[in-house]
Structure 1
């Protein structure tokens, strides 16, 4: 089936649902560690509490990719049914996360939230490859990155914004402040509305041979053999991209899980107060704890706001790429390599950052983030069988979640511990990891993956 060239606004409409997905990921990435700390988690335990997120992705994404490849609904098409199911579940989970009464409940909600977001997210990657010609794929993934950047910036600033509007940052011990609760409720609403927008404004191409598609679908389910067979026979370029992804996502998982404890402590000098160190039967001690807790919550808002800058800079980066790739070739390999180098520098500079200049570190990190969300997928989509795009996109995400699992199971604590016991050392490790990821781009030699007329 010959695909037509789509306009910017058609690509925008099919990508718009990612605004909501990124609201979910940005609130999760920017504030789950804060919720864990508020509920009493020590900073060394936080990466393990995050393990639900990558484990869920490891299980959910290949399954959803496989199922969406084999789905065709007369009204909703192939990928959109999964957008819709994921959006409803994610919105419910987002709303209730900040009402968690205990640490184990918050960890459980993270599991549900990440699984639900993944149900929506994985088919979005495949939709770009489904709908766009080879010549427009880099452009399509970059537009998707532009939308993601907007979502990251706005969602990361939500607790700060609602706090500025008068919603309280103060709360009793073990209670999530109202500013966070309101922010998550807004995120739940945006998630659902943005997905619905894409569902109602985007159509999908039906299978080229519907009879053959139905015949293939009616065959005995070979999910596990098919997954294992495709893992064993993945293209060489996909394996090389997997190495780059490993170090890239180890770095970003480190940021999401430990940036809040590292930066509130090192940059803002307002570490989360430990309740056991206070005599809560003494009014003076209670007042001191509440004061320290409010200072921590406010500095957490500022950390979240600073983190939002990486969404903003990734958006600007993506916009420049949209303008450039709509007319010209780019060398995806070198764009990605140098973007990762800059992101690594941003992490390393956090050790020397002040509250006033922390934002510049996140500007550099945003350049890496913008590239991570577009260049690997553009290179991958030129290297795999279009009929198995959903499955391969799901398998490719194994290279995202495996490094996160390793990081959560002690990888971050071990490697950063080699540099000392300061929480900020985790950000230095993230920087070194991104620089290694950048160097790994030299492994990519497939010419069609490196550069295609866009």
Structure 2
């Protein structure tokens, strides 16, 4: 049988498909580089920062599988994925506009939750959108262009406070509040995010479910519920694991944030029991059945990549939380959030983050594809992650702020691969009819490590090195090295 092919996209088509990610990443970059700074400006201590960041990964854990499920099954006047792009962009822009004027710590934490939820609503369908719009032979190119926009957006978002300071905007605030450099950066970021996503919404036309089925020779989109795990022992094991963690926290006196991890494990075990009963009652086509069944029945390649993602994003989340206090203390000589030196360090972190994102944009365009052709996508990803581990390790020895730019070059190479290679591998290996839900479930292994870091890292810092946050970078280097090793277990299609 002759299979129809999607029209091959030129540069303009690839640009339009992913340009919205430029705005989304501006939002993530402003969040990543400045939220610890905002929290500390509102009175939070460094060893409690991880707890306040819990909202972000927990939101992604809940939102992305749900959005993936519904975007797979959505089709209407405005398309399949685009309604989610647009709705998420509206609320993310509003959160960015409100964040710097948060009157208290609790308000900033709530706005972080709204921002992260909205960014996730927009981001998840963008991953599946590339698979919808491009044939397999353009997946690597599509995700590379998307990564370039992610890098470019992150450069803009990360560097804006520094540039505003250079232009003469005040970088300190009376009474220790949020400085004007950060305030104006968030205002501008909200506007640009909305306009960038609107560009993709207005310049792309999605293929209908019937066209996609014809392209992939899959027949009608399968909406039947996936197989459900039948073993009660499996559900009880998840519940037992959660209870065990809860008992350990109570007995040993660990941080109470770990109760959240216990609750998640118990909730998943209960969800498996509920789904089994729904199936027994003939009620199989529902959101919970699809999410639980697809999670339990993930393809083997996705399971192996999941382990890679777990280690990778543990390292990244450590970096996002602790780079500002590390750079301010060790390269600028101040751990006081109200001091000019600390705020200068905070601005320099924006430049460091802009550097790794800029490197990622260039590496995605000019390094990844030729390297993958030479040694394969799996070895390319493993090599890039190993280079990133060396970048994290260098923070332990480098005390010159400008030399840290070289550390960020190494991290940028890893970041380019992280944003492109796993998704290109998956998009070419997963069933098109379930691409959204699988991409959403894949994000679980981006979110879980962040949640674990947010609940555990504060305890580690408080008890092992309360005045020496530099050692967080040693943890980041170690888990990134584990990610590189785990990558070698992945088998290319």
TM-score by structure 1 length?
A: 0.89
For 1:411 and 1:97, the matched residues in 2 are separated by 25
**Cα deviations by residue, 1:2-36 (Å, 9 ceiling, x for unpaired):** 31211122011110000001000000001100111
Q: 1:31-430 maps to which residues of 2 (within 5 A)?
A: 31-74=34-77, 76-208=78-210, 222-273=286-337, 293-321=339-367, 324=370, 331-353=376-398, 354-411=400-457, 413-414=459-460, 421-430=467-476
Q: 3-state SS of the aligned residue for 2:5?
A: coil
**Cα deviations by residue, 1:38-86 (Å, 9 ceiling, x for unpaired):** 1111111001110000000000000000010111122x21000000000
Q: 1:193 to 1:222 in 2, by over 3 A?
A: same
For 1:383 and 1:82, the matched residues in 2 are separated by 24
Aligned CA RMSD, in angstroms, stands at: 2.2
TM-score by structure 2 length?
A: 0.82
CA positional deviation for 1:166: 1.7
Q: 3-state SS of the aligned residue for 2:298?
A: coil
Q: Residue 332 of structure 2 contacts residue 344 of structure 2 at CA under 8 Å; is this kept in 1?
A: no
**Cα deviations by residue, 1:274-299 (Å, 9 ceiling, x for unpaired):** xxxxxxxxxxxxxxxxxx52222222
Q: Does 1:15 align with 2:79?
A: no
For 2:173 and 2:102, the matched residues in 1 are separated by 14
**Cα deviations by residue, 1:243-274 (Å, 9 ceiling, x for unpaired):** 0000100001111111111111112112124x
Q: 3-state SS of the aligned residue for 2:127?
A: helix
Q: Residue 142 of structure 1 contacts residue 321 of structure 1 at CA under 8 Å; is this kept in 2?
A: no
For 2:404 and 2:347, the matched residues in 1 are separated by 14
CA positional deviation for 1:154: 1.4
Q: Does 1:4 align with 2:4?
A: no
Q: Residue 415 of structure 1 contacts residue 429 of structure 1 at CA under 8 Å; is this kept in 2?
A: no
CA positional deviation for 1:174: 4.0
CA positional deviation for 1:308: 1.0
Q: 1:212 to 1:385 in 2, by over 3 A?
A: closer
Q: Does 1:439 align with 2:485?
A: yes
Q: Residue 17 of structure 1 contacts residue 195 of structure 1 at CA under 8 Å; is this kept in 2?
A: yes
**Runs of 5+ in structure 2 lacking a partner?**
214-218, 226-282
Q: 1:349 to 1:412 in 2, by over 3 A?
A: farther
For 2:223 and 2:167, the matched residues in 1 are separated by 58
For 1:388 and 1:233, the matched residues in 2 are separated by 12
Q: Residue 64 of structure 1 contacts residue 394 of structure 1 at CA under 8 Å; is this kept in 2?
A: yes
**Runs of 5+ in structure 1 lacking a partner?**
274-291, 449-454
Q: 3-state SS of the aligned residue for 2:209?
A: coil
For 1:416 and 1:330, the matched residues in 2 are separated by 43
Q: 1:441 to 1:13 in 2, by over 3 A?
A: same
Q: Residue 322 of structure 2 contacts residue 472 of structure 2 at CA under 8 Å; is this kept in 1?
A: yes
Q: Residue 138 of structure 1 contacts residue 325 of structure 1 at CA under 8 Å; is this kept in 2?
A: no
Q: Residue 18 of structure 1 contacts residue 121 of structure 1 at CA under 8 Å; is this kept in 2?
A: yes
Q: Residue 254 of structure 1 contacts residue 412 of structure 1 at CA under 8 Å; is this kept in 2?
A: no
CA positional deviation for 1:394: 0.3
Q: 3-state SS of the aligned residue for 2:175?
A: coil
In the other structure, the counterpart of 2:238 is: none
For 2:107 and 2:416, the matched residues in 1 are separated by 33
**Cα deviations by residue, 1:136-182 (Å, 9 ceiling, x for unpaired):** 11111111001111111111100011111221112122410111000
Residues paired across the two proteins, number: 426
Q: 1:338 to 1:420 in 2, by over 3 A?
A: farther
For 1:99 and 1:221, the matched residues in 2 are separated by 44
Q: 3-state SS of the aligned residue for 1:272?
A: coil
Structure 1 segments (4+ residues) deviating >4 Å: 209-217, 415-421
Q: 1:31 to 1:192 in 2, by over 3 A?
A: same
